[in-house]
């Protein structure tokens, strides 16, 4: 079921050639996203930007993967609405284990609506679906520098 503003299961709005992306990252990103198309598209973009990627298809799997090797991850890219555990619950579990890892939230809801569910929680950034490659790149760069 698509989230508000997600246009089905596509999170990426406009393609941009990877050659145009000057900033590159490194390290491993955990992507916790229940929509397969979004998950695999974001994975391809992150790899093109220089990251290694670990995927989780729901909140429970995301917490499990993070718990196994919490210091492996340079950043967590987290969907808000997912089965088993939602983004707020996943955020709380990750923060209980590691207070330093940057967490970027993705949602079809507006930033104001999404952040309202995260009162007193310090997110490292927000991406409203659908987003384009430069927007993802800027959010990653801001969260990691």
Q: Decide if pLDDT at 28 tops 60.
A: yes
Q: Residue 34: in which H helix or E strand, if any? A: none
Tell me the mean pLDDT in the region 27-55: 96
CB atoms within 10 A of CB 119: 7
Q: Decide if pLDDT at 26 tops 60.
A: yes
Q: Is there a domain that residue 61 lies in?
A: yes
Q: Is there a domain that residue 96 lies in?
A: yes
Higher pLDDT: 18 or 95? It is 95
Mapping DSSP to helix (H, G, I), strand (E, B) and coil, where does residue 6 land?
A: coil
pLDDT attached to residue 2: 42
User: What tokens appear for 72 in the block?
Assistant: 């492996």
User: What tokens appear for 64 in the block?
Assistant: 């499990």
Q: Is there a domain that residue 2 lies in?
A: no
Tell me the mean pLDDT in the region 120-137: 89
Mean pLDDT of the chain: 86
Q: Is there a domain that residue 23 lies in?
A: yes
Q: Is there a domain that residue 39 lies in?
A: yes
Cβ partners under 8 Å of residue 18, min gap 6: 45, 48, 133
pLDDT attached to residue 141: 93
Q: Is there a domain that residue 9 lies in?
A: no
Q: Is there a domain that residue 128 lies in?
A: yes
Q: Which domain holds residue 120?
A: 18-144
Q: How many domains does the chain have?
A: 1
CA distance 4 to 23: 30
Please report, for the domain that includes residue 104, its CATH number. 3.40.50.2300
């Amino acid at each position: 079921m698509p989230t508000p503003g997600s246009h089905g299961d596509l999170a990426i709005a406009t393609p941009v050639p990877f050659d145009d992306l000057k900033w590159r990252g490194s390290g491993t990103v955990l992507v916790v996203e229940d929509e397969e198309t979004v998950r695999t598209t974001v994975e391809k973009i992150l790899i093109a930007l220089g990251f290694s990627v670990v995927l989780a298809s729901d909140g429970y799997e995301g917490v499990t993967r993070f718990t196994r090797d919490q210091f492996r991850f340079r950043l967590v890219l987290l969907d808000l609405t997912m089965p088993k555990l939602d983004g707020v619950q996943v955020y709380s579990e990750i923060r209980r284990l590691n207070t330093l890892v940057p967490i970027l939230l993705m949602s079809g809801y507006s930033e104001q609506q999404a952040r309202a569910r995260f009162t007193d929680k310090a997110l490292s950034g927000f991406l409203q679906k659908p987003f384009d490659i430069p927007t993802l790149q800027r959010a990653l760069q801001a969260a990691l520098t």
